[in-house]
């Protein structure tokens, strides 16, 4: 199902940027983060990110490697709950995603069905009539959605794949969305990856950017440890995903 690929890309888009900027050397220091070397600032930021229980991320842009520009906007937590959407850009379609407990709801728009499911997509769109597809988290067809919605999946990627190598540099303190932050840039394989690290609090990253070698993307982080919204679609606004996919559209 095309929505599976979208969910997988949602996770990969944010994880790629985070993995590439961390150095993988666990170093602790005092709270005068602005005076630390660039690698230690990156480490502090990574460790702080691993400690949060929920967050909001907005990833947008082009990661290169023949990947089209897209936007991922998700609020997610360690319990596997999430709310948000994935926009493929260029009128290629958008999918709303809600995951709460064992329930998963997806609402692709008309452009998604037209461009991502060219054979029969319009029939699925007509059946849904603006409603959500609803499935169970145990449904293997929805596994990429479930994984993309779980902050623990994201944390494992960051923890297990923190990379080494490259050159780290520290920039001048700046402001990102009203937050005072110190930029740390890692240059590796013709790509420049910059983490803007909050100089206060737990020194969390507020933005990470990647540029070069065909890539131009950014991930903004906010809403740390704030609960994921609990609202889910009512029954009369949903269609069972198995019932929907069981309707074989005409290929004529």
What are residue 67's DSSP bridge partners? 64
pLDDT in tens, 216-249: 889 899 999 999 999 999 999 999 988 887 654 4
Is the pLDDT confidence value at 26 over 70? no
Is the pLDDT confidence value at 158 over 90? no
Which pLDDT value is given to residue 166? Answer: 76
Q: Are 96 and 107 in contact (CB under 8 A)?
A: yes
Domains of the chain: residue spans and CATH: 2-245 (2.50.20.20)
* Distance (Å, whole) CA 206 – CA 80: 22
Q: What values do phi and psi take at 135, rounded to 5?
A: -140, 180
Give the mean model confidence (pLDDT) for residues 176-190.
91
Query: Percentage of the chain surpassing pLDDT 70?
Result: 79
* CA 166 remoteness from chain centre: 24
Please give the model's pTM, rounded to 2 decimal places.
0.85
Buried b (16+ CB within 10 A) or exposed e, 4-24: eebbebbbbbbbbbbbbbbbe
Q: Are 1 and 145 in contact (CB under 8 A)?
A: no
pLDDT in tens, 55-89: 999 988 876 666 677 888 999 999 999 999 988 88
pLDDT band of 135, cuts 50, 70, 90: very high
pLDDT band of 21, cuts 50, 70, 90: low
Q: Helix/strand/coil (H, E, C) string of the chain?
A: CHHHHHHHHHHHHHHHHHHHHCCCCCCCCCCCHHHCCHHHHHHHHHHHHHHCCEEEEEEEEECECCECCEEEEEEEECCCCEEEEEECCCCCCEEEEEEECCEEEEEECHHHHHHHCCCCHHHHHHHHCCCEEEEECCCHHHHHHHHHCEHHHHHHHHHHCCCCCCEEEECCCEEECCEEEEEEEEEECCEEEEEEEECCCCCCEEEEEEEECCEEEEEEEECCCCCCCCCCCCHHHEEEHHHHHCCCCCCC
Give the mean model confidence (pLDDT) for residues 119-129.
87
Mean pLDDT computed over every residue of the chain? 83
| 14 compared with 210, residue with greater pLDDT | 210
């Amino acid at each position: 199902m095309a929505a599976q690929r979208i969910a997988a890309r949602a996770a990969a888009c944010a994880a790629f940027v985070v993995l590439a900027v961390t150095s993988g050397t666990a170093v602790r220091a005092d709270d005068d983060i602005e005076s630390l070397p660039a690698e230690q600032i990156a480490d502090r930021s990574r460790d702080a990110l691993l400690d949060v229980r929920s967050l909001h991320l907005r990833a947008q842009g082009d990661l290169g490697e023949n990947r089209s520009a897209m936007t991922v906007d998700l609020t997610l937590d360690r319990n596997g709950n999430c709310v948000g959407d994935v926009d493929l850009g260029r009128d290629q379609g958008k999918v709303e995603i809600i995951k709460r407990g064992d329930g998963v709801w997806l609402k692709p728009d008309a452009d998604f069905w037209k461009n991502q499911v060219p054979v029969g997509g319009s029939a699925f769109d007509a059946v849904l009539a603006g409603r959500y597809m609803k499935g169970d988290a145990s449904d293997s067809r929805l596994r990429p959605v479930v994984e993309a919605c779980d902050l623990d999946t994201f944390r494992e990627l960051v923890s297990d794949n923190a990379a080494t190598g490259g050159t780290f540099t520290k920039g001048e303190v700046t402001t990102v969305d009203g937050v005072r932050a110190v930029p740390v840039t890692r240059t590796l394989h013709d790509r420049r990856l910059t983490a803007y690290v909050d100089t206060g609090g737990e020194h969390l990253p507020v933005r990470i950017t990647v540029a070069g070698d065909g890539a131009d993307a950014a991930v903004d982080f906010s809403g740390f440890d704030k609960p994921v919204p609990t609202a889910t679609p009512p029954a009369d606004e949903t269609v069972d995903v198995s019932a929907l996919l069981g309707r074989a559209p005409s290929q004529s």
